[in-house]
A and B are shown apart, each in its own frame.
Chain A
Amino acid sequence: MNTRQFYGKGLPYLKLEDLQGKLIVIEGPDCSGRSTQISLLKEWLEAKGHAVLDTGFKRSTLVGNVILEAKKGNTLGKTTLSLLYSTDFADQLENKIIPALSAGYIVLADRYIFTMMARDIVRGASKEWLTKLFGFALVPDMIFYIHLDPDLLLHRTFAKYGHLDYWESGMDLCLSGDMLESFKKYHSLLGEEFKILAEEYSFIKINGKENVEKIQAQLRKHIREFLEVD
């Protein structure tokens, strides 16, 4: 399978005939255990002899600083923020993911366009606009979604950080002046959006309530089956 699909208009100036690698995406909220799962997958896949690149969409350096700066001062318009995130994503895609795929790597993406879409849709962005905007994204081979209900997520967040974060609680949406209340409302809105996206983009849903080993076993089973068939 060498003919890669894009979600929309793609990257017309690139010739992409030879992407031998596999693109596996893991989506899920902060504290859902994504990065733990990814590092376990990486070890397992490498032990099996695959070259693996793990990449997260916040690790780009192109506009990462701008986003951090602006978030501190809370001075960003919503459309500006969407575009900055999409800039970073495009940078990752073109400079890391695509080169790795053409070198035959298995790419494990710690989140993809869907987190950005869900966050932005609950902030009032037009879905059609977003869908076209991310039309340059490659269609992954597999998309896992680790889902958790907002209550459990709240406890995981406290366990991990000891406190709630302004942005992760969706305080900019003015859902509630109370951060805990806002956190729950925000994450249930995101959850609803993800439910819709899960149907549209055929996510493989993983219950985040399970323990690390069980989730890992499920992920491996799906990936093993996919690699065998392919």
Chain B
Amino acid sequence: MMKKVRGLGMGKTYPGKLFVVEGCDGSGKSTQIYLLKKWLESEGNIVFFTEWNSSELVKESTKKAKKKNLLTPTTFSLMHASDFADRYEKLILPHLRAGYIVLCDRYIYTAYARDMARGCDPDWVRNVYDFAVKPTAALYFQAPLDISVSRILAGRPELKYHEAGMDMGWSNDPVESFKIFQGIIKKNYDEMIDEEDFIVMDATTSIEEQQVRVREIIKEKLVEYKSPYRKM
């Protein structure tokens, strides 16, 4: 009795569609997923959108812990995993099971790339997120490091402590530290391309060009798809 094991995600199927965008800060992925959402909705689909580190429940604690600089690579990883799990169990999976389109601005690959950069064991990190389903498509917005870094630095005069990877002690200069951190993250993403079936997007072309390509890709994935419900 009661020995039914809670399923792990990667082999699980679901009637909905899950599209995720990944890439370094400044790769332009958030703009692209926003435009994708607009288009899908204009076609009459019901779309559920969620972004990294936004669980109502966990967000506040993460913020506090970051502020007090209490986190180690492992607790940093586990807090973000808790945040993801909360959104996954409450929002992402139920929407997929009900047949909707789900868009995620960052998914488990963000955790892989960042936690590995912080020195967590790669197999350990992958195991933590084993409960998550494989996306219908994962779009990786790839840009040369100097382009994504300069986009971030241009728009933001001050980098946050963890965002810049200052907790790792690579450099006392936030900009320098940020560049090192982003470099490792980019390398980690690049190395995941084959294994995780990323669709690589050239993030150096214009926003419009990229969006045309995004819509082509998603359209192909939705050929057989029918929205389970239409708003009156």
A residues apposed to B, CB below 8 Å: 8-13, 62-63, 65-66, 69-70, 75-80, 83-84, 86-87, 90-91, 94-95, 122-126, 129, 132-133, 135-136, 173, 175, 189
Contact = CB atoms under 8 A, between A and B. Distances in A.
A20 B5 CA distance: 39
A79 to B, nearest CB: 5
B124 A76 contact: no
Given A12-B119, A79-B131, A175-B2, A87 B86 contact: no
Nearest to A122: B2
Contacts of A66: 57-58, 60-61, 82
Given A66-B57, A79-B6, A125-B6, 4 more contacts: A11-B73, A79-B85, A79-B131, A86-B78
Contact of B128 (A124, A133, A175): A133
Contacts of A124: 2, 4-6
Interface residue SS majority, chain A = helix
Interface in B75-95: 75, 78-79, 81-82, 85-86, 88-90
A65 B61 CA distance: 8
A13 B8 contact: no
A125 B5 CA distance: 6
Contacts of A76: 57, 86
A173 B78 contact: no
Contacts, number: 107
Interface of B: 2, 4-6, 8, 57-58, 60-61, 65, 70, 72-75, 78-79, 81-82, 85-86, 88-90, 118-121, 123-124, 127-128, 130-131
A79 B191 CA distance: 28
Given A79-B131, A94-B72, A175-B2, A13 B78 contact: no
A126 B72 CA distance: 26
Contacts of B82: 63, 66, 80, 83-84, 87
A122 B78 CA distance: 22
A210 B142 CA distance: 65
A87 B89 contact: no
B128 to A, nearest CB: 6
Given A62-B65, A175-B2, A91 B123 contact: no
Contacts of B89: 77-80
11 contacts: A66-B58, A66-B60, A79-B88, A79-B131, A80-B89, A87-B82, A123-B6, A124-B5, A132-B127, A173-B2, A189-B2
A91 B81 CA distance: 14
Given A11-B74, A66-B61, A69-B57, A83 B8 contact: no
A81 to B, nearest CB: 9
B156 to A, nearest CB: 27
A191 to B, nearest CB: 13
B79 to A, nearest CB: 5
A129 B7 CA distance: 10
A91 B75 contact: yes
Nearest to A175: B2
A94 B57 CA distance: 24
Contacts of A13: 73, 118-120
Contacts of A12: 119-121
A90 B127 contact: no
Nearest to A130: B127
